[in-house]
Chain A
Amino acid sequence: MFGYYLDLALRSLKRNKALTALMVLAIALGIGASMTTLTVLHVLSGDPLPGRSGKLFYPQLDPQDMDGYKPQDEPPTQVGWIDGIALLHAGRARHQALMTGGAVPIQPMQSAIDPFFEDARYTSADFFPMFEVPFLYGHGWNAADDEASARVAVLSRKLNDKLFGGKDSTGQTLRMDDVAFRIVGVLDSWRPTPHFYDLHTGSYSAEEGVFVPLTTATDLKFARNGSTDCWGKGMSDDMKTATCTWLQFWVQLDTPAEAVAYKQFLLNYSQEQKALGRFQRPANVRLRNVMDWLDYNKVVPSDVHLQVWLAFGFLLVCLVNTVGLMLAKFLRRSAELGVRRALGASRRSLFAQLLVEAGAVGLVGGAGGLLLALLGLWLVRRQPSDYAALAHLDLPMLLATFASAVLATLLAGLLPAWRACLIPPALQLKSN
């Protein structure tokens, strides 16, 4: 029966090409726009480290003075040097890393390459094991290197390709800001999206090109990137004593019990600091995991949300439009349907026949929508924003495109098909 219905549907669609084309186009446009914006949203609100993000936490403390204090305020989004180092040395978590972003001038040995700036991350050693950063060559550094402010560096794969043509460069020397560093490792491609561990240097920025120990970078006074938030006496020549927050601190806590214990530790630490007179505000701590931290910071640009809403509004109009056109199309064929009814076709089989026709429109519309979504994403990728390059259609989204197109058109076909089935056969035979 299905084959016969399909044949009928195709004949009917061919009979009125303009109307069919209009329906297919409307569905394709609506689905294409929705899928493009949904894919972008899907990519941007993804989990940067699937499987691990639930175990990684971002502790926050409030070390500020009482000026402008409001009890409901959130603590600062970063930590200062004294608290960061204290928490790092306390070592209460499985892994912990203290870090900040920066930019360093790189002076390549090869005279063919001019000196250039490279985004850098200054971090303590646990960064690599905690985030399970993949290494192509070598390895990270260890806590002893941190203590000794060792002149060691880890390169990204991209920078290693640029400087050493992709060869194993471990053991070689890299000059940065006139200081020689020994390369100990080269990362494999690694780009957590969003750039969760430091949102201040761009929510979707690519990973940094070079990693050096935080202690080394601070001693050498390497230039920082990111946000510095100060109170009281504020900035000073020595960022180690400044009353500013400018570092990110991450911990890995494997079980919920560990997380509860760590939060208690933060509370105790804050109370102790208050008793010592260093903190003035009542203890105010937070311990968010990666996804909560991203939510709290609203990393997905509100424009992206707006675009999704716009696209769905657009799809809705396209569907209403399709319902109207299908209604017209089906009712116009009242006579033909009446004949089929009179010859013994049940309402149910008429309904099925019309839905097959709607489904055929949906399938073609879905294919068109897919093409338009690919075109839309290609356009998005040509945009110069941080996240543009990430906008790709994956298999689930591809299947979702087809499924939603067919489903949407079937839904749109329900009312017209039902209305068309209600026509009494005799009347149709008589009136035309």
Chain B
Amino acid sequence: MTLHPILAALRKHKAGVVLIALQIALTLAIVCNAVFIIGQRIERVNRPTGLVENDLFLVTQQWVGAPSGDEPGGVAKLDTMQMEDLAALRNLPDVASVAPINTMPLLNSSWNGSMALKPGQELRQGQARTTYYFGDEQMLSTLGLRLVAGRGFTAGDVQHRGFRDTTSPAIVIVTKELADKLFPQGGAVGKTVYIDGSSSPTAIVGVVERLQVPSTGSWVNGFTWNATLVPTRLNANFSRYVVRAKPGRLDAAMRAVAPALYKVNPMRVLDDDSVRSFAEIRDKAYRADRGMAILMGVVCLILLCVTAAGIVGLTSFWVGQRHRQIGVRRALGARKVDILRYFQIENLLIAGAGVVIGVLLAVGLNLWLMSHYEMTRIPLPYVLTGVLAMLAIGQAAVFVPARRASNVPPVEATRAA
């Protein structure tokens, strides 16, 4: 079949052809970018924190009428209270391990600073920004972090100090990402660094494979994996404990926490938000991203349906309009399949023109989004998939009206004009 008659016929329906092509182009541009955004969100939500997240939960509590960390002996008293809590939690039957901690990945509450190779460099101008996790010797095992070099903390390493005391720790463990940034040649273990512009040295004793910082905001994009673990219990009138339940005993362990802590010391506040599973923390942190992905998905789906319905509508109209011509072609010897092919190829030509414009629009839209929002360049596979999907939808939509056209009997040619 030559294309000439099809093109000649299309020239008679310029407005309709332009509208379908335009609709396909716009749909392609929007759907490509929306799917790309969905893909990015899914990737973001699914990135591992570095923790073993099953059976993990966090306890946040505050003592009432506790001594202030500023008064003499206050820090020591607060530390004793914290140790009592830890002992009580570690004794629970469903609990595997417990560590004090100041924050958790995805909790969006963080203590940030910087690490430098030379002493006295300004707080925020060191070689690498980082977030601190303060805890004890059980922090690594409770969180489920994987040590890739050096050693973990021992009970002898662990210090304690007031919440606002900024003395530099003697030793730290860093993530591999942070170690590589500071020491691109490797061998970070045993090296000396200076924290937050301090002039007292800190030694790196170990490197963990991966640990995300607590914040999920865009402002941490430069240091999402630059975490530092400090073997220090922070003493304040509140405390957080990260607890690993025995496998499958998460609910039981979570329920046992409040009674156990109240038994140690009833003068404290533990409310509904105080005991949260890590799954819950993760859910909350990425809620907006998930909502956005679902919304984009639904809009894309409806958009594709609307476009397909539009193609069905216009093609049906054309089929109705050309009833007689189809009859004439049939009477002159065209087979049913020829008529079917005619409409399919016609649609392919229109959709083809549409996707060419659509690809340009998609790239343009992507560039515009990049300049206004946090967005990266759309990868080619997304656009190609979009093109194929649009062509396939066009063919699927045209099939029913085209088959109806192919069923027009040759006798139609003889009907009165």
Contacts and interface: CB of A to CB of B under 8 A. Distances in A.
Given A177-B65, A230-B123, A432-B417, 9 more contacts: A67-B124, A105-B269, A178-B64, A178-B267, A310-B296, A314-B302, A317-B303, A324-B23, A332-B317
> Which 8 residue pairs are nearest across A and B when measured between Cβ atoms?
A67-B122, A178-B65, A328-B317, A324-B19, A321-B310, A105-B269, A68-B125, A313-B30
A419 interface: yes
Contact of B166 (A26, A235, A314, A384): A235
B187 interface: no
A68 B310 contact: no
Interface string A296-312: 00000111011100110
Given A115-B269, A236-B164, A310-B34, A419 B15 contact: yes
Contacts of B273: 117
B271 interface: yes
B269 A33 contact: no
A298 to B, nearest CB: 11
26 contacts: A22-B310, A22-B313, A68-B125, A116-B269, A116-B271, A177-B65, A221-B68, A234-B123, A235-B164, A306-B373, A310-B30, A310-B34, A310-B296, A317-B23, A317-B307, A320-B23, A321-B307, A324-B23, A324-B310, A328-B313, A328-B314, A331-B317, A332-B317, A385-B287, A415-B15, A432-B417
Contacts, number: 148
Contact of B320 (A33, A117, A332): A332
A307 B295 contact: yes
A323 interface: yes
B237 A223 contact: yes
B27 A317 contact: yes
B30 A317 contact: yes
- Interface of B, secondary structure class, is helix
A19 B162 CA distance: 72
Contact of B123 (A67, A305, A316, A324): A67
Contacts of A116: 269, 271
B155 to A, nearest CB: 27
Contacts of A236: 164, 166
Contacts of B309: 22, 26, 321
A318 B64 contact: no
Give the interface residue-count category, chain A.
Answer: 35 or more
Contact of A321 (B62, B65, B306): B306
A328 B288 CA distance: 42
Given A107-B64, A178-B64, A234-B166, A320 B26 contact: yes
Interface in B17-76: 19-20, 22-23, 26-27, 29-30, 34, 37, 62, 64-65, 68-70
A316 B15 contact: no
Contacts of B374: 302
A146 to B, nearest CB: 22
A282 B26 CA distance: 52
A140 to B, nearest CB: 26
A68 B288 contact: no
Interface in B259-293: 267-269, 271, 273, 284, 287-288, 291-292
B16 A324 contact: yes
B388 interface: no
A217 interface: no
B287 A384 contact: yes
A117 B63 CA distance: 11
B196 interface: yes
A114 B268 CA distance: 10
